Amino acid sequence: MDAKNDLATRVLPDLLAQGLHVEANTVATRIAMRGRRVIGIECVRRETGERARYSAHRYVLAAGALASPHLLLASGLDKLNPGGGVVGRYLMRHDNAVVFGVFRQRPNPERVFDKQIAIHDFYFGHPTIRTPAGKLGGLQQLTPPQDLVRAHLGGVLGAMAGFGVGFMTGLLCIAEDQPRFENHVAIDPFIRDRFGLPRLRVRHAYSRRDAAARAALIRKAREILREAGALFTPMHPIDTFSHAVGTVRMGVDPERSALDEHCRFRGVENLWVVDGSFMPRSGGVNPSLTIAANALRVGEHLAHSGDGVVPGARSRGVDRMALPAFR
């Protein structure tokens, strides 16, 4: 049984039996406060425009490194946080590229799942890499699915390219980027969307060091693929926010980090942030498992602590928590 089916057949029914309620097509627009406590999440139904409000004793925000600071800033919660000046700051996204190897024969003739190889020999640098010094990142196998290539290009070109994918395999170069204060998201108070949220503006640029780390990994990826027999090693840059992290960073200094060691939003008694925005560094690997592990860590802390709980508010020994739905 794969993870998706396991979630559908085992995890979700158990959570639903314990009181989980999912509000689809609902946009959270504001976190309502009373003093230092969250008292509700104001939302808008995407399809009807109807407004709704949800209340709980504890609130967990997990909307991603772009949407989480968006909601926090739109709600003015940065003004309550001693580290409010870093909310939305230190936006990171790996400086990624994929190097493809084109071979005479199919490297995967059985067409089995081929995301099998990860190379971390260069993660902390390497004697054969003179510059840049220090951490670089990782390499992992990546081959685009034939059906995706056909659908993306379409027509005869898509069919030809889809066939050619069978003679390729690639190495994804994941270069750890530097946490920089100037890379950030911010709200525009003069422009709002149809739900009433101020427009989010994103500013991000890679440093010279980021680019040098990616270039070093690309060179190594090409060397490895050529040693394996590749005839050509074309490179394709990846310009997405799929690995965005860092905008509500966790730390020990209240003035330099918006979250404490348990990912509680400083200055607010009953709000936690558990998506990739908590990360103070991006690391040199896909952050998904790190995000999931931290969410489990924070969940265990909440389950065994009284943080943010109103006395006498327990129900069947479990504190109800709200997890807002986002676009």
Co-location of 220 and 267 in the same domain:
no
Co-location of 251 and 295 in the same domain:
yes
Residue 146 confidence (pLDDT): 66
323: DSSP letter:
-
Which helix (H) or strand (E) covers residue 149, if one does?
helix 146-153
Residue 6 confidence (pLDDT): 57
Co-location of 159 and 224 in the same domain:
yes
Residue 142 confidence (pLDDT): 86
> In whole angstroms, how far apart are CA 256 and each of 1, 60, 87, 250, 271?
44, 21, 10, 9, 18
Co-location of 125 and 140 in the same domain:
yes
Beta bridge partners of 174: 96, 138
Q: Round to whole Å and give the CA distance between 76 and 84.
A: 10
Q: What amino acid occupies position 111?
A: R
Residue 224 inside a domain? The answer is: yes
Co-location of 211 and 81 in the same domain:
no
Co-location of 257 and 279 in the same domain:
yes
Residue 18 inside a domain? The answer is: no
Co-location of 219 and 277 in the same domain:
no
Which of the listed residues 238, 253, 287 is the one where a domain comes to its end?
238
> In whole angstroms, how far apart are CA 128 and each of 124, 168, 312?
12, 27, 62
Sole residue written with tokens 């560094």: 281
CA of residue 138 relative to chain centroid, distance: 17
Residue 193 confidence (pLDDT): 93
> In whole angstroms, how far apart are CA 189 and each of 65, 70, 192, 239?
20, 12, 7, 28
Q: For position 72, which CATH number holds? A: 3.50.50.60
Left, alpha or beta for 91 (phi > 0: left; psi -120 to 50: alpha)? beta
Residue 267 inside a domain? The answer is: yes
Judged on CB neighbours under 10 Å (0-12, 13-18, 19+), 286 is: middle
Beta bridge partners of 318: 315
Residue 2 inside a domain? The answer is: no
**Residue 156 near residue 150, CB atoms below 8 Å:** no
Residue 115 confidence (pLDDT): 73
Residue 100 inside a domain? The answer is: yes
Residue 256 inside a domain? The answer is: yes
Co-location of 67 and 127 in the same domain:
no
Co-location of 105 and 148 in the same domain:
yes
Q: What is the pTM of this model?
A: 0.85
Domain hosting 164: range is 95-179+206-238
Residue 1 inside a domain? The answer is: no
Co-location of 156 and 32 in the same domain:
no
Residue 78 confidence (pLDDT): 97
Q: Structure tokens of 211?
A: 């680019």
Residue 187 inside a domain? The answer is: no
Co-location of 211 and 114 in the same domain:
yes
Residue 43 confidence (pLDDT): 97
Q: What amino acid occupies position 17?
A: A
Co-location of 234 and 110 in the same domain:
yes
> What is the number of domains present in the chain?
2
pLDDT along the chain (327 residues), means of 10: 54 79 92 97 95 95 97 97 97 95 86 81 94 95 71 59 78 96 96 94 97 97 96 90 94 97 97 98 94 94 74 38 38
Residue 317 confidence (pLDDT): 33
Q: Structure tokens of 225?
A: 């693929």
